[in-house]
Amino acid sequence: MKNLKKTLIALSIGALCALAALAARESYVLDRLEKVSYDARMVFARDRAPADSDVCVVLIDEASMKAMNPLVGRWPWPRSVMADILEYISMGNPKAVILDILYVEKERGGEAGASGLGEGDEKLASVTAAGGNFIHAAQFMRDAEDEINKGLLNAPLPDYFTGRFALKMADGSMRQRPDSMPNTYALPLERFQEAAAGIGAVEFAPDSDGVFRRTRLLRPYGEDYFPMLGFSAFTREHADAQWLLTPDSLTAKGVNIPLDGEGNYLVNLYGNFNTYSISGIAASIQKMMQGETENLLIAPDEFKDKYVFIGSSAVGVYDLKATPLSGKTPGVFLQASVLSNALNDDFLRQPPKWFCAGIAFALALSAAWIVTFAPKLWEKVAGPFSFTGLYLVGAVYFFGFGYVWPVVPVVVAGISSATASFVFFSVTEGLERRKVRKLFSVYVTPEIIEELIEHEDRQAAAMYGSEEDVTVLFSDIRSFTAISEKLSAPRVVEMLNVYFSEMTDAIFEYKGTIDKFIGDAIMSFWGAPIKEPRHARQAVLASLRMMEKLKGVNEELKKRGFEPLSIGIGINTGTAVLGNIGSAKKLNYTVIGETVNLASRVEGLTKGYGCPLIITEFTFRALEGEIPCGVLDVVRVKGKQEPVRMYAPLVDINPSPDELSAAREKALLMEEAFSLYLQKNWDGAIKMYSTLGQSVYTRLMTERIEYYRQNDPGDNWDGVLGMTTK
């Protein structure tokens, strides 16, 4: 019942922590942490990843700006210069030339021709038309209404433009929210539109932290959709495709591109692009104009069958963006990454929404369960962190294969669940532990208390009662009444404190439980509250240790002016009732039953047999021969009908091999002597007992045999000695 209650509490804590983490996943802190986690995985997995070999980037870099400045001045360069560069690239027969440069206004300066365009614009338009594979940039924006632009917003796109460049959309495609729908645009010059093979949108919106991670592959305007610049070359190769846009995907025949559930596309960035400096192309053009066609810095063939992006990495062009890979990533790299993703099916895929919830609940519940039921502190700590760490490793590993697992909500669910469970059970179990310590501190060693605390199933048995297999020990100081009558009360207390201190240490040394002190007597037991399979052995060893320590006690008492003490110890093994017994006002943790009563009676026999330590046959059998013992007698103690054999251990604590061997031989002799005694072979029995040497016990048995020799006990005699006193 207690474990069921703890299970329900642990599951409740885990579930609440998981729900809280999932509810807070969109909060500022968790969202920012998730973005940090995403960026870290991107760096780990993609920092050196190469883009598709068919994708290359021609950069207007710092070197180009410096090299071209003496020739054509500052940026923007004359469009005739750009026309020459693009014409040079076209000589290599690329698959597409994608311009990440807006040409939405006429070039300043120069005279306009019949078309209304200057010479540079006309040349650029001609190069675009001749190439037949140029993709120009456009912008679709949302602007706030004011007095100036009031009449310009939501103007329709030219029919010619939508007819040529709008994508075919399938029924059921999602629409962008009206409050975020573009309401104005900036299109390439009309001549460029006519000459271009495609149009692509260039604006990229950063996330809330200013980092560029995602975009919309299709940009709406009115009822029409247009591809973003990096995606336009791909859609151009699927000119007849009908696109279906949903929050989770963009699909067409043979194409399935995953989105993030809100219609956004996660850009799978690359750390390495095949790049060229536009200054190198300009230098190559100069060489060709001078008649040199060999050893060009950048030959046109470099661009054969390539998708060539033209963009800027120079600071002055203001197209550097913060991405997970770098704080200054050229915007054209984002566009090139999108195309490379599409060409290679190299997409980032987010798991279904239930995945995050399922993992968060699983980790939170597991953490709460481990903290609640793990027996060791290190297991309570290591378990949740191991599972969390394993999930983090999985999240990093599978990111390399394009799977974006949620991290922060899951980790927060697991760690918060472990922490909450630890705090809750530390408080509640702390009270329980203090209760257990208070209850048992006077009975057992601190080590046993800690072991008992770790085994909660034993706590209930210990505190509320159970039937246990135990070994019970009673010890008593012989002639204590006579000794104490000669002493004052303080001296009696002083003597007992010296004695009890050493005897208690001996019992605790072998993990015994002190039941009570009864005047000069000690009652203790083994086998509970902590299970000990060899409790009989532990009890006998403790008694031998007590006999050894008695020597030191007597030496100390002699120094203090006391007489030496002698003790008797009786031990029995069997079943007893264990628990807190008493009234509401006074409880005593104790064992009761026939096993206890017999142990007490056995202790009373020690003086009569001249043996300081006697054990019953039940304890003897439980020893399984580990400690040599000799049979003393078979006795029917007062209050019991069944006779019980009594044995005496024949060794001291830590005997040598020779002492063990001698004790085993003596045990065999005592067994044979007693067997002859039971067979009424009086002469043989006396002879065998005489070989054991003179002692109180051998004299007792010899006198008893002599008596029976003179007074035949009869045919019904069974050798049992009946005790009439306790």
Average pLDDT over the chain reads 88
The overall longest dimension of the chain from CA atoms, in Å, is 157
Structure tokens at 367: 């953490």
Q: How confident is residue 614, by pLDDT bands cut at 50, 70 and 90?
A: very high
Q: What is the DSSP letter of 720?
A: P
Q: How high is the pLDDT of residue 450?
A: 54
Using CB atoms within 10 Å of the CB of residue 430, give its burial: 0 to 12 exposed, 13 to 18 middle, 19+ buried.
exposed
pLDDT tens digits for range 579-611? 777 665 566 778 899 999 999 999 999 999 999
- The pLDDT score that the predictor gives to residue 586 is 60
CB of 211 within 8 A of CB of 322?
A: yes
Instruction: Using the predicted structure, report yes or no on whether residue 660 has a pLDDT greater than 60.
Output: yes
- Mean of pLDDT values over 645-654: 94
Q: Using CA of residue 341, residue 343, residue 346, residue 352, what is the dihedral sign?
A: positive
Q: How far is residue 513's CA from residue 311's CA, in Å, rounded to a whole number?
A: 85
So what CATH class is 462-623? Answer: alpha beta
Res 411 pLDDT > 90:
yes
pLDDT tens figures, 216-253: 999 999 889 999 999 999 999 998 899 999 999 999 99
Q: Is the pLDDT of residue 116 over 80?
A: no
Residues 431-490 pLDDT 10s: 555 555 555 554 445 555 555 555 555 444 555 567 889 999 999 999 998 898 899 999
Measured CA to CA, the distance from residue 365 to residue 593 in angstroms comes to 45
Measured distance CA(455)–CA(107) in Å, rounded: 86
The H-or-E segment that residue 576 falls in is: strand 567-582
Q: Which residues contact 381 (CB under 8 A, 6 or more apart)?
A: none
Share of the chain above pLDDT 70, in %: 91
Give the CA count within 13 Å in the CB-facing half-sphere of 70: 4
The tokens describing 541, both together, are 């060893």
Residue ranges of domains in the chain: 2-25+365-433, 45-160+179-236+266-344, 462-623
Nearest to 320 by CA among 211, 419, 180, 426: 211
Structure token pair of residue 16: 């609440």
Kindly state the DSSP code that residue 315 receives in the 8-state scheme: G
DSSP H or E segment with residue 243: strand 242-245
Span 560-567, average pLDDT = 94
Are 440 and 449 in contact by the 8 Å Cβ rule? The answer is: yes
Residue 527 pLDDT > 70, yes or no?
yes
The whole-number pLDDT of residue 500 equals 94
Query: Which of 73-77, 176-180, 301-305, 652-656 is predicted with the least confidence, judged by mean pLDDT?
Result: 176-180
Instruction: To the nearest 10°, report the CA torsion of 181, 183, 186, 191.
Output: 100
Give the CA-trace dihedral at 259, 264, 265, 267, to 10 degrees: -140
523 conformational bin, left if phi > 0, alpha if psi -120 to 50, beta if neither: beta
pLDDT of residue 293: 77
Q: What six digits make up the tokens of 149?
A: 């632009």
693 residue type, one letter: G
pLDDT tens-digit map of 709-719: 999 888 888 88
pLDDT band at 723 (very low <50, low <70, confident <90, very high): low
pLDDT digit string (tens) for 677-719?
999 999 999 999 999 988 999 999 999 999 999 998 888 888 8
- Which pLDDT score is estimated for 64? 82
Lowest model confidence (mean pLDDT) among 291-300, 480-489, 536-545: 291-300
